[in-house]
Chain A
Amino acid sequence: MNVSLILIILLVGAFATYVVGDKLASKVALFFSLAALGCSVVLLNHFLAGENISLINAWITQPKISFALNADGLAIAMLLLTVALTPIIIFSSFGNEYKIAKAFYALILFMAFAMTGTFLAADGLLYYIFWELALIPIYFIALIWGNGDAEERRKAVVKFFIYTLAGSLFMLIAFIYLYQKAGSFLIDDLYKLNLSATEQLWIFLAFFLAYAIKIPIIPFHTWQANVYQKAPTVGTMLLSGIMLKMGLYSVIRWQLPIAPLAAKEYMNIFIALGIAGVIYGSIVAIRQKDLKKLLAYSSLAHVGLIAAGTYTLTIDGLRGAVLQMIAHGFVVVGLFFAAEIIFKRFATREISEMGGIRIQSPKFTSMFLILVLASVALPSTFNFVGEFTVLYSLSQINIWFAVLGGTTIILGAYYMLKMFQNVMLGEANTKTFSDVTINEGISLVAIIAVLLFFGFYPKPITDLITPSLETILNVINKN
C-alpha cells in the first residue's frame, strides 16, 4: 500500500463525478473525497508503524524522469491538510445550485488530485507537472462559476493565470538546468548537487518567482485580492486554504535545500519581504469594505509571516511555518465559508450593509467569533501555536523582525474584531438572518474542532513533521 492510492482515488473520483451527471455529482464527489481522507488516515497509521509508503517508478527514459512519490512526515501533513479540507469544502457547497454541477465537482476533485501530487512528488519534473495541473481547474472554476461582472472577472482570472504560469516557467528552466548538472530530476540527487554561489542565486530567484507569485509575497500579490473576490467561495477556499500552501511547502521542500547558500546570504531580504507583506496586508485590510476582500488581505498578511518563518532557516521557523500553514488552511476556509453563509442570507458582501446577526442567530455568531479569534492567534487556538513559534524564530534572527511581524497580531486583532463588530453586532438588521442549517453547522464545527484540538495539543503534528524538517535542515546546513 502506498500513497499513489490517494491520487488514484481522487482522479477516479473526478471522472466518476463527471460521469454520474449533475444531480448526483456533489454526493459522489463528497464520497470520493471522504474515501481519500479515510485512506490517508490508514496510510498515516502505516507510516507511523514504520512502513515505507513511498513509491518510485521509471517513467520517461530520455530525459530521465521518474514517477516518484515521497511520503515523509512533512508531505503527509500537507496531504492530510488537503484531503481533510477537500470534503469540508465540497460539503460546504451543498445547498448551492451550480450550473453544470458535474464539471464543477469534477474540477474540485481534479484540483485536489493535482495539489496532493504536488505535495508528494519527489521528482522535480513530476512535481512541476502537478504544480501546473493544479492551475487549470481553478482557472475554470473561477472563470465559469465566479461572481461579479463577467468582463472584470475574466481580466482578474487571466491575469492570475498568466502571472502564475510565468513564474512557474522560470522554475522549469531552473529544473532543466539542475537536470543538466545532476543527470536526474530526483529530489535526493538534486539535494546532493554542489552548486556555486552564483548558480544557486539564479536558481533561488527562479524558484522564488514561482513561489512568490503563488504564495503571494509582496510585490507579486496584485492578482490575489481580485481573484479571491471574483472566484466562487469554493474556489477561494481551494486557493487560500490549500493552493497557496503549495508555494510555502515548495519553499521548504525545494527552494531552500537546493539553493541553501543563496538562502543564507540573502536571508534578511526575503524575511523583510515576508514581513512587508504582513504590514501591507494588515493596513490594506483595515480599509476594506468588502468582506471577502478583507479576508483576502488578512490572508496576505498571515502568509507573509509564514514565508518569513520559512526563510529563517531555523527548526523553529520551519516548524512554526508548517503548523501555521495547516492552521491557516483551516481557519481561512472557515472564515470564507462564514462569509458565504452571510452572503446567502443578505445577498451582499459589503460590510456596511450587514450587522445585527447576533440577535437573530447566536449560534452562528459564536462559531464566527471562534474563527475570528483563531485567525488573530488567540492562545489556545492552533494558530497561536504556529504564529508564536514563527515570531520566536524571527526574534532569534533579529528582534525587530519579530516586533514588526507581531503587528500581524495587533493589527489583525484590530481589523478582525472591527469587522466582527460591524458584521455581527449592532442593532437588528431589517433583513432576516435564518439560523445556520445542519449542513453548514457540521462544516463549521469540524473546522473549529480541529483548530481547538490542535491548539491545546499540537504534539501529534509536531512529532509528525519535525523529523523531516530536521532532515531538510541538515541538507541546508551541510556546507
Chain B
Amino acid sequence: MNTLIAITGLGIFCLLFEILNLTKAIVPITILGLLGVLALNFSEFGATESYYNNMITVSRFSTAFSSLFIILTIFLVALSHNFYENHPTKISDFVAIKIFLLAGGVAMVSFGNLAMFFLGIEVLSIALYVLAASERLNLKSNEAGMKYFLMGSFASGIILFGICLIYGAMGSFDVAEISENSLSAELPIWFPIGMVLMVIGMLFKVAAVPFHFWAPDVYEGSPALTTALMSTLAKVIAIATLYKLVSALNLIPSLENQDLLGTFQTIIVVISMASMTIGNIMALRQTNVKRMLAFSGISHAGFMLMTLLSISTSAGVLLYYTSAYALAGIASFSVILYVCKNQDNEDITNFHGLGKTNPLLAAILTGSLLSMAGIPIFSGFFAKLFLFNQTIEAGHLALVIVAVINSIISVGYYFKLILAMYSKEPNEERKGKPVLIYAVAVISIVLNIALGLFPSLVVDLLN
C-alpha cells in the first residue's frame, strides 16, 4: 500500500521538475526515488494485509512482483536519459508517465477489488497509449499509438463486461467475497462467462495468440524505448495480473466443481502452443529487430501461460521466468537503443560487425539472446527448466515437447542476430559511450547470470 502511494507521489513530483526547471537532474533523482520505493516495498515483504475495505491486498505475491516492476522501471528510466537527449524539454513528462505506469502495474498485482483491478489496468493502458504515440512528428509512432488505443480500449471494454457479469453473478466486486462464493456448487452460468471475458482481455494485454495482432505493428512503430517497456515491463505486469486473477478468484476449483476444468486447461494448452509456434515461426522471417522481438515476446507469452496449468504451485516459477525474460529483454534493448540511435529503422543490418566495433555490447546482446533461447548458465535456461518441470508434473508432456521444439526454432532467429554481429563486416562507426546505457546493459545481464547461478533466491520467495 505504502509502495503504491509512494510511487504516485514520485510521479507527481516528476511533473513538478519541469516547472522548477530541473529537468537535467530528473533521471538521477527519479532513480534514487525508485530505489527508496524499492526499499520500502521490501520492508513490506512477508506481511499479508488489506487496506481500504479490501481495495488493496498486499501479499507476498504482490510485493515480490512489485519489486520486479520497480527494478525494471529503474532500468527504463535510466535508459530515458540518452533516449530523450534530443527533446530535453519533454523528458519530465515521459519519466512521469513511466512512473504512473508503474503505479498502475502495482495496483494490478495488489488489487483486492475488481474496481481497483480495472483502475490499475486503465492507468497502465493509457500511459502505454501515450508512450506509443509519443513521437508526435513520426507517422509510424502515431499509427502505433492509434492502433494500440483502438485495440486496447476494445480489450478494456471486454474486461469491463466480464467484471459486470461477475458482479451480476456474485453481487460483489470484492475479490475475497467472490472467491469464497465461487466455490459453491450452484453458480449462475455468467460467472464462468465473465471470467472467460476477463481472461480474454488479459490475453490481449499479454499478446497471446490469437489476440496478438496488434503487437508487431505497435512494437515496430513505437519509439524504441517504449517498445522496450512494452516487451518487458508491460508484458510482465499483464501476465502476473492474469495469474493473480485466475488464482485469487479461485477460478480453478470453481471450474472443477462445474466440470469445466478440462475444457479450460485444453484452451490454455492450445493458446500456449499456438502462441509459441506462431510467434516463433513469424519471428524467423523478420528483418526488423524490434518486430522480431515482438514475435519472440509472443512466443514467450506462450511459455508463461504454461504456469496457469499448475496454478497452486507455480507462482515462484512465474516470478522467476518473468524476471529472467525481462532482464534479458532490458539488456538486449539497451544494446538496440545504442545501436539504432539516430537510425531511421531497426533493421538487422545495423548490427553488422558489432562484435568488432563494440565487443562488450555485442557480448551482452549475445548473452541476453542466449538467455531468451534457454541456454545454460543464463537464467532463461532455468526458467524453462522449472517451467517444464512444473508442466510435466501437471501431466502435460505433449505441451512440453511442443515447447522444446519451439525452443529449437527460436535458436534460429536469435542466432541470426548473433551471426550478424560476428560474421559480417561493420558498416559504420558509432561514437560516444553513453554511460547509462552501458551501466543498464551490464547490470541487467549480470543480474540475469546471477539469477542463473542462484535460482533459489527468487523461486523460493513465493514457495
Q: Which residues from chain A sit less than 8 Å from chain B, CB to CB?
A: 59-63, 100, 103, 125, 128-129, 132-133, 135-136, 140, 143-144, 150, 153-154, 158, 161-162, 165-166, 169-170, 172-173, 176-177, 179-180
**18 new A-B contacts at CB < 8 Å, known A61-B460, A173-B404:** A60-B459, A63-B385, A63-B389, A129-B381, A136-B370, A143-B423, A144-B355, A144-B422, A144-B423, A150-B423, A158-B419, A162-B415, A169-B407, A173-B388, A173-B392, A173-B400, A173-B401, A180-B393
| Chain B stretch 389-412: residues in CB contact (< 8 A) with chain A | 389, 392-393, 397, 400-401, 404, 407-408, 411-412
Give the nearest-CB partner of A131 in chain B: B376
Task: Determine if B339 is an interface residue (Cβ-Cβ < 8 Å).
Answer: no
Q: Chain A residues near B400: list those with CB within 8 A.
A: 173, 176
Q: Chain A residues near B459: list those with CB within 8 A.
A: 60-62
A311 to chain B, nearest CB (A): 26
Bound: A170/B459 CA distance, A: 24
Q: Chain B residues near A133: list those with CB within 8 A.
A: 376-377
Let me know if A170 and B411 touch, CB within 8 A.
no
Q: Chain A residues near B463: list those with CB within 8 A.
A: 62
Q: Chain B residues near A150: list those with CB within 8 A.
A: 423
Let me know if B422 and A179 touch, CB within 8 A.
no
Let me know if B370 and A62 touch, CB within 8 A.
no
Let me know if A154 and B423 touch, CB within 8 A.
yes
5 nearest CB pairs, A to B: A129-B376, A166-B408, A169-B404, A61-B456, A132-B376
Let me know if B419 and A143 touch, CB within 8 A.
yes
Let me know if A158 and B404 touch, CB within 8 A.
no
Candidates A132, A135, A170; contact of B404 at CB < 8 Å: A170
Bound: A435/B415 CA distance, A: 42
**Total residue contacts A-B, CB cutoff 8 A:** 79
Let me know if A136 and B375 touch, CB within 8 A.
yes
A169 to chain B, nearest CB (A): 5
Let me know if A180 and B392 touch, CB within 8 A.
yes
Chain B interfacial residues counted at CB < 8 A? 32
Let me know if B388 and A129 touch, CB within 8 A.
no
Candidates B381, B393, B422, B455; contact of A140 at CB < 8 Å: B422
Give the nearest-CB partner of B390 in chain A: A63
Let me know if A176 and B392 touch, CB within 8 A.
yes
Q: Chain A residues near B412: list those with CB within 8 A.
A: 158, 162
Let me know if B376 and A165 touch, CB within 8 A.
no
A174 to chain B, nearest CB (A): 11
Q: Chain A residues near B214: list those with CB within 8 A.
A: none
Task: Determine if B329 is an interface residue (Cβ-Cβ < 8 Å).
Answer: no
- Cβ contacts A to B, 29 pairs, < 8 Å: A60-B382, A60-B455, A61-B456, A61-B459, A62-B460, A62-B463, A63-B385, A100-B359, A103-B359, A125-B385, A128-B376, A129-B376, A129-B377, A133-B377, A135-B375, A136-B370, A136-B375, A140-B422, A143-B419, A143-B422, A143-B423, A144-B423, A169-B404, A173-B397, A173-B401, A176-B388, A176-B400, A177-B392, A177-B397
Candidates A61, A103, A166, A179; contact of B389 at CB < 8 Å: A179
B409 to chain A, nearest CB (A): 9
| Chain B stretch 447-463: residues in CB contact (< 8 A) with chain A | 455-456, 459-460, 463
Let me know if B408 and A165 touch, CB within 8 A.
yes
Using known A-B contacts A173-B388, A180-B393, determine if residue A62 contacts B423 with beta carbons closer than 8 Å: no
B303 to chain A, nearest CB (A): 14
Task: Determine if B112 is an interface residue (Cβ-Cβ < 8 Å).
Answer: no
Q: Chain B residues near A60: list those with CB within 8 A.
A: 382, 455-456, 459
Q: Chain B residues near A132: list those with CB within 8 A.
A: 375-376, 381
Bound: A180/B376 CA distance, A: 21
Task: Determine if B45 is an interface residue (Cβ-Cβ < 8 Å).
Answer: no
Task: Determine if B316 is an interface residue (Cβ-Cβ < 8 Å).
Answer: yes
Give the nearest-CB partner of B407 in chain A: A169
Candidates B359, B385, B411; contact of A162 at CB < 8 Å: B411
Residue of A103, A133, A158 with most partner-chain B CB within 10 A? A158
Q: Chain B residues near A173: list those with CB within 8 A.
A: 388, 392, 397, 400-401, 404
Let me know if B419 and A154 touch, CB within 8 A.
yes
Q: Chain B residues near A136: list those with CB within 8 A.
A: 370, 375
Q: Chain B residues near A166: list those with CB within 8 A.
A: 408
Bound: A128/B175 CA distance, A: 43
Q: Chain B residues near A63: list those with CB within 8 A.
A: 385-386, 389
B174 to chain A, nearest CB (A): 33
Give the nearest-CB partner of A58 in chain B: B456
Q: Chain A residues near B415: list those with CB within 8 A.
A: 158, 161-162
